[in-house]
């Protein structure tokens, strides 16, 4: 079957933000709490890896409060932990340095011009996705937007990819997914039956000879149109 849709990850693919550990450090220091950036990065990774699947059924605010409390506990921050957990939610996007990658807008316009359906599948909540897209100028209307709360499952679970293709009324192998995370994006999409491209802007991935990899979104049209 031919290719009918090009789907994207959001953060690290279409949108650039500051690293999560830097955002956390910045907000905590505003309230007089100082921690080493490497220590924060480890705590953030712990939160990401230890979040139970059932937490993705929680409402937006409850999910992030619980996530932030886990990070703060790992950092040994107990005083005003509840307050700081809320502040991290409320002030996150004002401190994230959100901007579109320079290659994103032109590629999206060209894809739509060639008749492809275009969408986003992200491990952000729908509310976060809306906030990000409000802060950047995107030149097109996306045909589908899928967040973790859309299906209560994050990438690399197949449900989040399959929801998008069903919403577009296409088969999985009629869509290609582009993201920057090897396991969550590339492998996740492949296992769900989609085609996949890894966007590796800094040439850091060394995994697999058969990996379809690009360093700029500008290469997409060459790959899919030949």
* Predicted confidence pLDDT, tens digits, the chain (226 residues): 689 999 999 999 999 999 999 999 999 999 999 999 999 999 999 999 999 999 999 999 999 999 999 999 999 999 899 999 999 999 999 999 999 999 999 999 999 999 999 999 999 999 999 999 999 988 889 999 999 999 999 999 999 999 999 999 999 999 999 999 999 999 999 999 999 999 998 877 766 667 888 999 999 988 887 6
Give the closest residue to 196 by CA, choosing from 169, 173, 219, 165.
Answer: 173
What is the rounded average pLDDT for all residues in the chain?
93
Match 């929680």 to its residue by tokens.
Answer: 58
In 3-state terms, what secondary structure has residue 192?
coil
Q: Is the dihedral of CA 67, 10, 2, 167 positive or negative?
A: positive
Give the closest residue to 46 by CA, choosing from 18, 76, 26, 9.
Answer: 76
Alpha-carbon distance 226 to 34, whole Å?
A: 52
State the pairing for strand pair 175-179/15-16: unpaired
> Are the beta carbons of 165 and 5 closer than 8 angstroms?
yes
pLDDT in tens, 67-123: 999 999 999 999 899 999 999 999 999 999 999 999 999 999 999 999 999 999 999
Alpha-carbon distance 211 to 205, whole Å?
A: 10
CATH 3.40.50.1000 fits 5-16+98-225, yes or no: yes
State the pairing for strand pair 15-16/99-100: antiparallel
> Which two structure tokens, joined as six digits, stand for 65?
């409060």
> Are the beta carbons of 175 and 165 closer than 8 angstroms?
yes
Q: Is the peptide bond before 119 cis (omega within 30 degrees of 0)?
A: no
Look at residue 208 in the predicted model and tell me its pLDDT. 60
> Are the beta carbons of 150 and 162 closer than 8 angstroms?
no
Domain extent listing, the chain: 5-16+98-225, 20-95
- pTM recorded for the entire structure: 0.92
């Amino acid at each position: 079957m031919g290719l009918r849709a090009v789907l994207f990850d959001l953060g690290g693919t279409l949108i650039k933000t500051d690293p999560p550990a830097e955002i956390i450090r910045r907000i905590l220091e505003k309230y007089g709490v100082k921690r080493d950036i490497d220590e924060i990065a480890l705590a953030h990774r712990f939160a990401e890896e230890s979040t139970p699947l059932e937490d993705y059924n929680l409402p937006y605010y409850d999910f992030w409060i619980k996530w932030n409390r886990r990070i703060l506990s790992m950092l040994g921050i107990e005083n005003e932990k509840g307050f700081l957990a809320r502040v991290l939610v409320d002030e996150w996007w004002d401190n994230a340095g959100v901007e579109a990658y320079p290659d994103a807008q032109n590629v999206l316009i060209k894809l739509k011009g060639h008749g492809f359906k275009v969408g986003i599948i992200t491990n952000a909540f729908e509310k976060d996705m809306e906030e990000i897209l409000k802060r950047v100028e995107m030149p097109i209307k996306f045909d589908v937007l899928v967040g973790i709360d859309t299906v209560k499952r994050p990438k690399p679970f197949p449900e989040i990819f399959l929801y998008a293709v069903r919403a577009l009324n296409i088969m999985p192998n009629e869509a290609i997914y582009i993201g920057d995370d090897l396991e969550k994006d590339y492998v996740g999409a492949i296992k769900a039956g989609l085609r996949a491209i890894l966007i590796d802007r800094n040439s850091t991935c060394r995994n697999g000879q058969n990996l379809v990899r690009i360093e700029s979104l500008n290469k997409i049209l060459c790959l899919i149109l030949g």
